[in-house]
Amino acid sequence: MDSKSLVTAVAKDEKMMVDSLCSMLRIRAVGPENEGKGEGERGRFLLDLAKKLGFKSVELLESIDSRVPSGRRPNILIRVKGTGDKNLFVVTHMDTVPEGDVNAWKSPPYEPKVVNGRIYGRGSEDNGQELIASLFGLKALMDAGITPEFNICLVFVSDEEHGNTHGIDFLVQKGIFKNGDLAVVPDHGEEDGSAICVVEKSIAWINVEVVGKQTHGSTPARGVNAFEVAARFLVSVVDELRRKFTEEDPLFDVPISTFSPTKCDANVPNINTIPGRQQFAFDFRILPNYKIDDVTAVMRKMADEFEKASGAKINLTYIQRADAAPKTPVDSEIVVRLSEAITAARGIRPHPLGIGGGTCAAPFRRIGIEAVAWSTIPGVAHDANEYANVRDIVADAQVYAILFAGKNVKHA
């Protein structure tokens, strides 16, 4: 079979893809951190769907979690043996964020509707679309009697929306993924499917607490104005970091490290009091060639100088820290093969990309797996009225089918 015939075969399953996604979206799969019951019911639906579609090797691995009714969080592995020894994983997640303000939805978030080629419902884009697309991409190979080039494993994980403890991390500890494997993690995407994410910046969210001395507004010299010290420190830190860490990397959509002051807490409720305490936060997105520790060392040195000059105490605390994982080389096997599949399916030439946000491809890169983040999405994850485009589900299933087939199909 050639790739055009495979693309045509995938398209014939469009109605089944839409129906399957809608059926899945009717099952709420919110984690216990947000007062949800977890992914158990959705996992049972997917186990049943995989078997109905004819997959023979379907495995359930459960992580213990007493916070959900069943006491377990499901992870599902669907395997198809290939002609070679290498493993190729596509890792999607079953859980979703909560629906948020129900009144902001035009239709009930767990009663999916198909309107003008869009499937509306919580979890439709994030991550239901790619879960269904990968499943039907592999089904197309099975229906066509094509043995994939790699050992293919579709992985549907729990707990992606709240840290991966019961999903990706659990499976890594089980030894499911090994150095030398390849992975596609549809945790980032563009509207035209042309960007393959190969690296992320380091992320550091840092809380700054300035402790001074409160006093009456008419006698400021008797106190230490924590707000004023915080303001001067904030501006000085931003100016110094932007001056010192100036390298650029055109691979990233924002090619520089960014140092942004963001959240600022209230201090005193009245105007005529000099505040003795002020808190605010920074959001740093740092290019991988810099170390977070080098950035924060500059910040700490400046804090020491401000303490000595002002008499205030400045406490710095990480709210979140994620050091950049190793980059998947732009000429790596997974990038080359995925690029070829996208071109064969759509006639476009994709490009590698680095992003400022974290993705779930990073945990795989840290254990020596060439992993990329890729999908075709409108970018409405977590929004009210979240949707997935029907055409994107089909198009991505076509790309997966060609990727899985590898050299066992010819390109026109």
Q: Are residues 36 and 155 in the same domain?
A: yes
Q: Are residues 196 and 225 in the same domain?
A: no
Query: Model pTM?
Result: 0.92
Q: Are residues 291 and 334 in the same domain?
A: no
Q: Which of 322, 344, 378 is the last residue of a domain?
A: 322
- Write phi, then psi, for 156 (nearest 5 degrees): -105, 110
As a whole number of angstroms, the distance between CA 313 and CA 246 comes to: 29
pLDDT tens per residue, range 137-191? 999 999 999 999 999 999 999 999 999 999 999 999 999 999 999 999 999 999 9
Q: Crossing angle of helices 129-144/14-25, nearest 10°?
A: 140
Half-sphere exposure of 63 (CA within 13 A, CB side): 21
Given this model, what pLDDT does residue 411 score?
A: 81
Given this model, what pLDDT does residue 409 score?
A: 87
Q: Which of 290, 322, 354 is the last residue of a domain?
A: 322
State the pairing for strand pair 273-274/215-216. antiparallel
Given this model, what pLDDT does residue 62 score?
A: 98
Q: Catalytic pick from 99, 149, 160, 190?
A: 160
160 is catalytic: yes
State the pairing for strand pair 370-372/182-184. parallel
Given this model, what pLDDT does residue 298 score?
A: 98
Task: Tell me the C-alpha to C-alpha distance, in Å, between residue 386 and each of 19, 47, 186, 203, 220.
Answer: 17, 25, 17, 26, 51
Q: Catalytic pick from 39, 65, 95, 392?
A: 95
> Residue 17: in which H helix or E strand, if any?
helix 14-25
> Residue 22: in which H helix or E strand, if any?
helix 14-25
Given this model, what pLDDT does residue 365 score?
A: 96
Write out the two tokens for 339: 């690029």
pLDDT tens per residue, range 389-398? 999 999 999 9
Q: Are the C-beta atoms of 78 and 138 separated by less than 8 Å?
A: yes
Mean pLDDT of the chain: 97
Given this model, what pLDDT does residue 408 score?
A: 87
Coil, strand or helix: which one is 74? strand
Residue 400's identity, in one-letter code, is Y
Half-sphere exposure of 206 (CA within 13 A, CB side): 24
Helices (H) and strands (E) in the chain, counts: 10, 17
Q: Are the C-beta atoms of 375 and 92 separated by less than 8 Å?
A: no
Q: Taking residues 62-84, what's their average pLDDT? A: 97
Q: Are residues 20 and 125 in the same domain?
A: yes
- Structural domain tally of the chain? 2
Q: Are residues 25 and 155 in the same domain?
A: yes
User: How does 246-275 read in b/e, with b if 16+ C-beta sit within 10 Å?
Assistant: eeebebbeeebbebebeeeeebbeeeeebb
pLDDT tens per residue, range 191-215? 999 999 999 999 999 999 999 999 9
Helices (H), 287-332: 292-310
Calculate what percentage of the chain has a pLDDT beyond 90.
96
Write out the two tokens for 343: 């071109």
pLDDT tens per residue, range 31-60? 999 999 999 999 999 999 999 999 999 999
pLDDT tens per residue, range 91-102? 999 999 999 999
Q: Taking residues 80-100, what's their average pLDDT? A: 96
> Got the DSSP string for 76-93?
EEEEE--SSS-EEEEEEE
Q: Are the C-beta atoms of 280 and 261 separated by less than 8 Å?
A: yes
Residue 269's identity, in one-letter code, is P
Full domain range(s) for residue 28: 3-200+325-408
Q: Are residues 345 and 298 in the same domain?
A: no
> Residue 337: in which H helix or E strand, if any?
helix 333-346
* Distance between start and end Cα atoms, the chain: 11
Given this model, what pLDDT does residue 84 score?
A: 86
Task: Tell me the C-alpha to C-alpha distance, in Å, between residue 263 and each of 114, 271, 315, 320.
Answer: 38, 21, 16, 14
Q: Are residues 55 and 76 in the same domain?
A: yes
Residue 243 is part of a domain; what is its CATH number?
3.30.70.360
Q: Are residues 145 and 210 in the same domain?
A: no
Q: Is the pLDDT of residue 412 over 80?
A: no
253 is catalytic: no
Helices (H), 246-291: none
Q: Are residues 125 and 251 in the same domain?
A: no
Q: Are residues 295 and 191 in the same domain?
A: no
User: How does 120-159 read in b/e, with b if 16+ C-beta sit within 10 Å?
Assistant: bbbbbbbbbbbbbbbbbbbbbbbbbebebbbbbbbbbbbb
> Got the DSSP string for 28-47?
--B-GGGT---SHHHHHHHH
Given this model, what pLDDT does residue 89 score?
A: 98
Q: Are residues 51 and 166 in the same domain?
A: yes
Q: Which of 322, 344, 379 is the last residue of a domain?
A: 322
Q: Are residues 71 and 211 in the same domain?
A: no
Given this model, what pLDDT does residue 1 score?
A: 81
Q: Is the pLDDT of residue 8 over 90?
A: yes
Beta pairing partners, 77: 59, 155
Residues in Cβ contact with 81 at an 8 Å cutoff, skipping those fewer than 6 apart: 57, 147, 151
As a whole number of angstroms, the distance between CA 11 and CA 136 comes to: 10
Task: Tell me the C-alpha to C-alpha distance, in Å, between residue 380 and each of 92, 120, 124, 129, 390.
Answer: 17, 11, 9, 12, 14
Residue 42 is part of a domain; what is its CATH number?
3.40.630.10
Q: Is the pLDDT of residue 308 over 90?
A: yes
Write out the two tokens for 221: 């010299």
Given this model, what pLDDT does residue 75 score?
A: 98
Given this model, what pLDDT does residue 297 score?
A: 98
C-beta neighbour count of 34 within 10 angstroms: 13
As a whole number of angstroms, the distance between CA 335 and CA 370 comes to: 9
Which one, of 383, 218, 206, lies nearest residue 302 by Cα? 206
